[in-house]
Structure 1
Amino acid sequence: MKLKDYQRLTGAIALIAAVSTMTVAGCGRGRDGASHGGASTGITDSTITLGITTPLSGATAGPGTCTVAGIKAYFGAANAAGGVKFGDGKTRKVEIKSLDDAYDPQKAKANYDQLKGSVFAMTAGLGTPTNRAYRTAAISDKVPQVLVMTGDPIFNDTSQSPYQLSLVPAYPNEGEAFGKLLASSGTAHKVAVLSQNDDYGQGYVEGLKKGIEGASNIKIVKELTYEATDTSVDAQITELAATGADVMFNAMSITPLAIASLQKAQQLNWKPSWFLPSNTSSPAAILKPGNASAYPGVYSVSFAKAPASPAFANDPDVKKFLSDLKQYGSYNETPAFPHCMWSYMAGAILEQAFTKMTEPTRDNFMKALRGISDFKAPLMLDGTSVNTSVDKQPAVSAVVVQKYNGTGYATVENFG
């Protein structure tokens, strides 16, 4: 063979090899991040990997740590029992990768960028600003961002993204539930409002105002805000105390500030009834150090059984949860924050979707996740359930208003 003919032949072989490699690579990743064989990133025939960015340090480390512990407890138990049987007939172990964002949006985005190449979906992370920080990128990358712990309604609008769904009731839903209870009391009340100066706080206040709309017996006498980065709200509490309001609506997400607010009001001898959001109303972590028993009533909303409550001491769900939490979640105490229970529920909801998945793709997963109706996840209170098929609503939308009784919460029907 002449040299020129040999060069042409080897060149043709190289070209064919290059084209073949490009074809394989092109077939290996679909529009929702599919890899070889049509499966999406983060799932194989034997495993599926989920990512979490959540605060594991800083002021919100308590609830943030719970978001990892609860879901690890649920899937740790499932994995120990052999794994989860998916709708495609394969049984897979569920792996969790978690990173600390310290409730910092920039860190949350960096964590997402680090995780997105190896996880099937993002889940369970705590925080509105932190989940918002990578929301646009997740939509663009078609990475599911599901059962995250934010009540921001933007995560539930399928017209904006079919790849997102939050877990907990929307902030306006919580605020409205309390507003309706307040309005139905039939007696005159003056309300002081302190809210976080972001979508979190605004959502609660929006719900409160909707709940009391048309109620002539309720008057909001003053509204103040604080920044999530503030280290004190003493000035705001002092100003609100001067109004003489008999109800304090405190839409706050920072644990130390929630405690300090309760303490400061007592120092001023101002003792109104209080409303606290579900994620900052822990009896052990907030109400006890804040001496909440000094007030005529502290109210919040919930959809989960509280293990610390005597009413659930012998509840089978609670017993299994606490056992799993210790054995697989590396959490040896009775949780002071509801987020441990919420993320355990998230695990059960995800398993429901996995059992309905007939293809190992993100598109098929979202179809399965969005098809859950009236599911009673472990630890759910009577009157609540999981419904994921209602557009613009989170996985859990119903809440029960409760009143602190010195040790835990009890369901109430009337304000006062």
Structure 2
Amino acid sequence: MSTQRTRMRAVSVVAGIGIVALLAAGCARGSDGGGGGDETSAPSPGITDDSITLGITTPLSGPTAGPGTCTVAGITAYFGAKNADGGVEFGDGKTREVKIEALDDAYDPQKAAANYEQLKDSVFAMTAGLGTPTNRAWREAATADEVPQALIETGDPIFSDATESPWSLGFVPIYQNEGAAFGELLASSSEEHKVAILSQNDDYGAGYVEGFKSAIEGADNIEIVKELTYEATDASVDAQLTELAATDADVFFNAMSITPLVISSLQKTQELGWLPSWFLPSNTSSPTAILEPGGASAFPGVYTVSFAKAAASPAFAEDPDVVDFLANLNEYADYPDTPAFPHCSWSYMIGATLEQVFAKMTEPTRADFMEQLRTISDFAAPLMLEGTAVDTTQDGQPAVSSVVVQKYNGKGYANADTFG
């Protein structure tokens, strides 16, 4: 018994010495004006006085590799330029190099979850990755581990619910916002319209349809004549398109995330002689990668929504933001072409938004990062369209909640004030 008491006393003495040392260190910081006498919290994983490492799990192979590669290229280009200019200044007075570590999940939820487990202890935060099912696959783990899942590229509203997902925040508009924007435009039309719907059989597709239906509720000029779904793993949707074409609907609401399926759907409807106006989600509406191969000019109108300047659009060829963006993509992300997908622009804007957060951080901790992440308001990130902005202060909304409806003009998109 006496031996045990002796050991306990020894531990207490050692602990006491440690406390005295910490207090002395705190006083020393206060005496020279650094920290005001407050203890600095221990750094979280992935951050030092000189650098911070961000992790990304995203599809770099498979049918969504085009947009997935962009999620890495854009943010790499942004911080590559910042690092070359000396680094990013944080709110604690330190300047850090921003490093990116990206892993391929091939749009497979199990691979995404495994990637998160591989990265979580070596990166400060996860960011920018594409996909609803893939980001959902590790959302609960990130919450339990208190690892930021910040500014990811999915419109699933669960990531923007601070109660459900306190360690997560989406960047792009939620799917309901996109669907509602098109529904509002259609409802404002003076003509009657019959709508056929094909949506992905998951939260992605359901969100778009929910937003669209809420916006047309009470509109006497709109009738939904047929509604079908497809699986994200389907190789073809020809059967659904044939059934929808038989309705002779003049509007096709196609909530589809798989690039090859969108192209083949554009081609198949032309083969069937069905030429409605289309609505496409922002992430599958690329003029060069999807609409041109699909022959979209054959339709009376293809509509989408956006909040970012399209680098491929002639209207922005001399825009300073776009010029810098393309130069940085080429130099720092080894991406020599004008991107066909908006995800390159989105992740570039994510980089700019993260820089705003870093500038507010006074402690090198994930907790302080999340606190500051939710304080960005009315920030015009590079490449943002007029009338849109980053605002992370609205619970239930992602960083970007404002969108502009646009219509394909054969080369790019132009703002659409009216339907038709």
The Cα of 1:218 is off from its aligned counterpart by 0.2
Could you list the runs of 4 or more consecutive aligned residues of structure 1 that deviate by over 3 angstroms after TM superposition? none
The aligned counterpart of 1:250 is 254
Partner of 2:126: 122
Q: What pairs up with 1:115-264 in 2 under 5 angstroms?
A: 115-264=119-268
Residue 304 of structure 2 corresponds to residue 300 of structure 1: yes
Q: Kindly, what percent of the aligned residue pairs are identical?
A: 72
Counterpart contact for 2:254–2:280, Cα < 8 Å: yes
Deviation digits for residues 261-286 of structure 1 (CA, Å, limit 9, x no counterpart): 00000001100000000000000000
Q: 1:93 aligns with which of 94, 97, 102?
A: 97
Q: After superposition, what is the alpha-carbon deviation per residue over 1:212-238, rounded to whole angstroms, capped at 9, x for unaligned?
A: 010000000000000000000011111
What letter matches 1:155 in structure 2? F
TM-score, normalised with respect to structure 2: 0.91
1:161 to partner: Cα distance: 2.8
Matches of 2:210 and 2:149, distance apart in 1: 25
Unaligned runs of at least 5 residues, structure 2: 23-39
Deviations 1:370-407 (A, max 9, x none): 10100000000000000000000000000000000000
CA distance in 2, matches of 1:314, 1:166: 30
Q: Give the deviation of 1:162 after TM superposition.
A: 2.1
Matches within 5 A, 1:345-356: 345-356=349-360
User: TM-score scaled by structure 1?
Assistant: 0.92
Q: Which residue of 2 aligns with 1:370?
A: 374
CA contact (8 A) 2:200 2:257 kept: yes
> What secondary structure, in the 3-state scheme, does the structure 1 residue paired with 2:293 have?
coil
Give yes or no for the alignment of 1:311 onto 2:308: no
**What are the Cα deviations for residues 311-331 of structure 1, in whole angstroms up to 9, with x where unaligned?**
000000000000000111111
The structure 1 residue matched to 2:361, chosen from 351, 357, 360, is: 357
Report the Cα distance in structure 2 between the residues aligned to 1:161 and 1:168, rounded to whole angstroms. 16
Q: Which residue matches 1:33?
A: none
Equivalent position amino acid for 1:236 in 2: Q
- Map 1:258-273; keep pairs closer than 5 Å: 258-273=262-277
Q: Deviations over 1:184-229 (max 9, x none)?
A: 0021000000000000000000001011010000000000000000
The two structures, once aligned, show a CA RMSD in angstroms of 1.8
Please give the secondary structure, in 2, of the residue aligned with 1:289. Answer: helix
Distance (Å, rounded) in 2 between the aligned partners of 1:299 and 1:344: 24
Secondary structure of the equivalent of 2:294?
coil
State the aligned residue count.
Answer: 394
1:397 paired residue among 393, 396, 401: 401
Q: What are the superposed Cα offsets for residues 30-71 of structure 1, whole Å, 9 maximum, x if unpaired?
A: xxxxxx961111111011110000000000000000000000
2:336 is matched with which residue: 332, 348, 372?
332
2: CA distance between counterparts of 1:58 and 1:74? Answer: 25
Paired position in structure 2 for 1:323: 327
